Structure 1
Amino acid sequence: MGTATLVAVVGVVGTLLSALLTQRAADRGRRREQQRAEELWERRSEALELRACYVAVNTAARHYLAALTDVLHALGRETELPSVRQRLTAARDQHREVYAEAQMRLPDRVLGPAATVSHQLGALYGMVRRLDDGMPGPGDSPAAVQRDIDALWERLREMRRAMRADLGAARSDSGR
């Protein structure tokens, strides 16, 4: 009878331990799956935030360049200048704000082209303002501004290509 009781106790303990070990393994699996889901959500959120930053930088730079172009075309037409100056100031302020945030977020492979665009926008702004103020510097002329505007549109395209490549969007264009 002692052996039979021992065998019964061992059987019950084995059954209980088996259920306990199965439950622990299932809990570990659920925790791992939850952790994977959280990591995936975090990566997706970061990708969406980066994409939003890219869109903001691209949009702000395009608006800034368009405002510079508007001022160039309005030079000599005093009635138009106040409104285009105001748009230029707003576009410049917006670009500065967006670019300041981008400097903290963009990877170096995208920040390089964005910095080039930002620097060239600032240089172009200075030239346009000097022309608008009637105090052009050496090399400042409407033709020089137009040449720089045309070149800057190409820099914007390069920046946008770097952004798209970083987001993986360029891979979908490879067959075109």
Structure 2
Amino acid sequence: MSAREDFIARFGGVFEHSAFIAERAYDRGLIFVPLTARGVHQAMVSVFREASQEERLAVLRAHPDLAGKLAIAGDLTEDSRQEQAGAGLDRLAPQEHARFTELNTAYTEKFGFPFIIAVKGLDKDDILSAFEARIGNSAEEEFETACAQVERIASLRLAALLPEG
């Protein structure tokens, strides 16, 4: 396996189902050895921010609903499963699950992508509060907020894989 293939295999999922970000960061010469969480994150974020509006929207749409159908079916990526479980979203009471489903549907209908939040350090009540507050945002505000959350999720995932640097 080449260094490029190894990098993409290792970091291609940092931005959910969006390996093109790792590929472009590597191909543009933005990746330096030794690899650090900070260095790889900066490289990948610059690629994400330079991506077209359509590509960034596709990254947002690659994220699963919180406590949604994929979680119930067990079809989340391992990172997403662990993140949602860490916030207690795998242990919702029926009425809590119904509220998440209602908010997921309303949010996706309004914005065209799922609600995205870096759940590490949050519990279900924190997440519900953010959900209820952010659903009132404008489309532009929410697109930028969701993109910032995607970058935070990537940072947290990289911190679990690499030294901080």
- TM-score of the pair, normalised by structure 1: 0.27
| Greater helix fraction, Structure 1 or Structure 2 | 1
Larger Rg: 1
Task: Identify which of structures 1 and 2 has the higher relative contact order when contacts are C-alpha pairs closer than 8 Å and 6+ apart.
Answer: 2
